[in-house]
Amino acid sequence: MTLAVSDLAVSFGGVTALDGVSFTVRPGSITSIIGPNGAGKTTAFNAITGYLQPTAGRINYDGAALTGLRPSAIARRGVVRTFQRTSVFPSLSVADNVLTGLHLSSTAGFLDVLVRRRWLVLEESSLHTDVEEIIGFVGLGHRRDEMASTLPYGEQRLVELALALAARPRVLLLDEPGAGMTGAEKTVVSGLIRQVREQGVTILLVEHDMRMVMGISDTVIVLNHGRVIAEGTPGEIQAHPDVIRAYLGAPRGAA
């Protein structure tokens, strides 16, 4: 159940985005990846979830390789991501967004649908129960029938989280879930992330908000210029000289 990244390298033409990155995500933990803009955080997410073919390196989950699989196949194995830029099905209602997100919870194939098998009714009704449960969990019950694109930004991010949860992840990769949210909304999201973890889902998080990261993470990994420069508990990371240098520059007199 461990997600292990070893010697991951990604380059775009001459630009090296990731250069020999290795880390493991302990099952059941909340692990955060931080680093300055351009450090390669989202690139790492894209490589892990199959949106980008790495130039070198391996990604294993539960002992099997994820490298080379299509994003949908990776999601099927329980590794599900969200996106940095808000990503919903814009013209569908909140409920229909989540219903669509439950794709992997249903099994009906083309012929089943065509001849309208009797168990389809049961399957659909159990999906609708799940929809209500997930919408309630993220606190969007009052918005269930509204079109996703008409919701305020913070609520669209919650729809996105609901969609990812509908795919029944075992490892959930969240790309800046707090970006653009108010302080109060961030507190809500942090609480939701903790609750998801309590249900046994491993969380891998990319986030810029240090209060959020330090508040909920078990482990923090710091990337800079495509390399891991530090890994440890939030306390260790906050005191780490390399991290301070990467974020704030070298101390006066040291250069």
Partner 1 sequence: MTALGRGLLAAAMVTLPFWLADPYYLHVVIMAGIFGVLALSLNLLLGYAGQLSLGHAAFFGIGAYTSALLTLKREWSFWPALAAAIALAAAAGWIIGRLALKLRGAYFVLVTISFAGVISLVSVNWIELTNGPLGLPGVPAPDLGPWSLRTKAAYYYLVLAAVALSYAVCRRLVRSRIGRAFVALRENEPLAESIGVDVTHYLVLAAVVSAAMAGLGGSLYAHYTRFVSPEVFLFTYTVTMVIMVVAGGKGTLAGPLVGAVLFTALPEALRLAASWQWQMLAYGSLLVLLVFFLPRGIVPQIVASFSGHPRSAPTSRTPLQ
Judged by the rule CB under 8 A, the positions of this chain that interact with partner 1 are 49, 51, 70-73, 75-76, 80-83, 87-93, 96, 99-104, 106, 108-110, 113-114, 116, 120, 124, 145, 147, 149, 163-164, 166-167
Q: How many whole angstroms separate alpha carbon 116 and alpha carbon 40?
A: 48
Nearest approach, Cβ of residue 229 and partner 1 (Å) = 29
Of the two residues 59 and 164, which places its CB atom closer to partner 1 in the complex?
Answer: 164
Nearest approach, Cβ of residue 75 and partner 1 (Å) = 4
Nearest approach, Cβ of residue 183 and partner 1 (Å) = 27
Nearest approach, Cβ of residue 70 and partner 1 (Å) = 7
3-state SS track over the chain: CCEEEEEEEEEECCEEEEEEEEEEECCCCEEEEECCCCCCHHHHHHHHCCCCCCCEEEEEECCEECCCCCHHHHHHCCEEECCCCCCCCCCCEHHHHHHHHHHHHCCCCHHHHHCCCCHHHHHHHHHHHHHHHHHHHHCCHHHCCCEHHHCCHHHHHHHHHHHHHHCCCCEEEEECCCCCCCHHHHHHHHHHHHHHHHCCCEEEEECCCHHHHHHHCCEEEEEECCEEEEEECHHHHHHCHHHHHHHHCCCCCCC
Of the two residues 71 and 234, which places its CB atom closer to partner 1 in the complex?
Answer: 71
Of the two residues 22 and 93, which places its CB atom closer to partner 1 in the complex?
Answer: 93
Of the two residues 159 and 213, which places its CB atom closer to partner 1 in the complex?
Answer: 159
Nearest approach, Cβ of residue 149 and partner 1 (Å) = 8
Of the two residues 60 and 84, which places its CB atom closer to partner 1 in the complex?
Answer: 84
Nearest approach, Cβ of residue 113 and partner 1 (Å) = 4
Of the two residues 47 and 246, which places its CB atom closer to partner 1 in the complex?
Answer: 47
